Structure 1
């Protein structure tokens, strides 16, 4: 086992211009999420204004709107993947099937990552990395649904393609006040979760869950 003296020194925190650049980039990405969720057609100047940086500084960091949208969408997909992988790891460790599934769904809704997919898809050119991430998302969701159903926690007539539509419905719950938006989403998330959980005597869902090609339609527009 390495002793403290054997370990490589911890990386020094960024200083000066490097630290300022990191802060500016974080501000730009947060501003872009805010601006483009509000109006996907907004110009780059609106992002610069929201972030409190100059337009020239914004373009030095991102060559154009496509690159900025690709970045924030990629960040959202990677967060989605991380939430799903955490739920799968919890199941692998013997965690309760419903708790793992519910935690994943809550994490997606509370972090608002699906809103980026719904609002921004079709507004920029996709990339191979984004398509790979989207495929990984689909695989993980399918695995979570299958395992929750095998454990008898999730109703048997729900499919993995139903979940994106559930996320889309909850994403539509949005008012001007972010705190109120979160409160309302928690309310309707509770209703959705109760409907998703396996209950004796639940009414059978009508036939016709969305197909994979229907779910890909937004992304196909952006390719």
Structure 2
């Protein structure tokens, strides 16, 4: 890239990194807070993202693409079934895409591309789950929706700096994975699993 394009790419990376930090901390924060954190002028931000909604759409779109990449990589793993599924869990936790779900669901209108990528991510999540159950390594009373909320529980862990937060998330993910494996240490799980409608309804903006 020439100098101008390279600078634009650097600015875009700074803006997206700043936007993620700002909006996962405070979804109601103004766009000006993103520009300030990124160290770019507000005009430079608006040239790339004409509105806060466009910026939120981009953040969540990028998150879905990472989810898809991690899930596809796990499904391509023909090795040990449990390790393949565990790699999928670890990869999603490392990507931290569910921090966006926790904070931003229902705060903007999803685009058609977001709906398509969301459908693809859901297909892959189901495929990874079904393969683990069929292999006899994942307890069958755990649903795809259960795993989705477990990802959100991991994303809610924030303590200290990024390194400490990542360390703790993997600590509790490891404890959680012990509960997911067959044979289970306990009997039937209390209460029914979350329903798809309950999870998707959060993305409908409130009137």
TM-score, scaled to structure 2: 0.95
Identify which of 96, 105, 109 aligns with 1:121: 105
How big is the shift at 1:188? 0.7
Structure 2 contact 74–84 (Cα < 8 Å) conserved: yes
Runs of 4+ in 1 over 3 A off after TM superposition: none
Counterpart for residue 165 of structure 2: 181
Counterpart for residue 56 of structure 2: 69
Which consecutive unaligned segments of at least 5 residues does structure 2 have?
none
SS at match of 2:192: coil
Question: Hey, what's the Cα distance between the residues in 2 that align with 1:80 and 1:59?
Answer: 27
Are positions 1:210 and 2:167 aligned together? no
Counterpart for residue 96 of structure 2: 112
Counterpart for residue 138 of structure 2: 154
How big is the shift at 1:207? 4.1
How big is the shift at 1:122? 1.1
Question: Hey, what's the Cα distance between the residues in 2 that align with 1:48 and 1:16?
Answer: 21
Alpha-carbon RMSD across the aligned residues, in angstroms, is: 1.4
SS at match of 1:124: coil
Which consecutive unaligned segments of at least 5 residues does structure 1 have?
1-13
Question: Hey, what's the Cα distance between the residues in 1 that align with 2:145 and 2:184?
Answer: 23
How big is the shift at 1:36? 0.7
TM-score, scaled to structure 1: 0.89
Q: Which protein is bigger by CA-based radius of gyration? A: 1
How big is the shift at 1:176? 4.3
Question: Hey, what's the Cα distance between the residues in 2 that align with 1:184 and 1:201?
Answer: 23
How big is the shift at 1:89? 1.2
Structure 2 contact 179–185 (Cα < 8 Å) conserved: no
Figure out how many residues of one structure are paired with residues of the other and give that number: 207
**1:5-20 paired onto structure 2 within 5 Å:** 14-20=1-7
Question: Hey, what's the Cα distance between the residues in 1 that align with 2:206 and 2:81?
Answer: 35
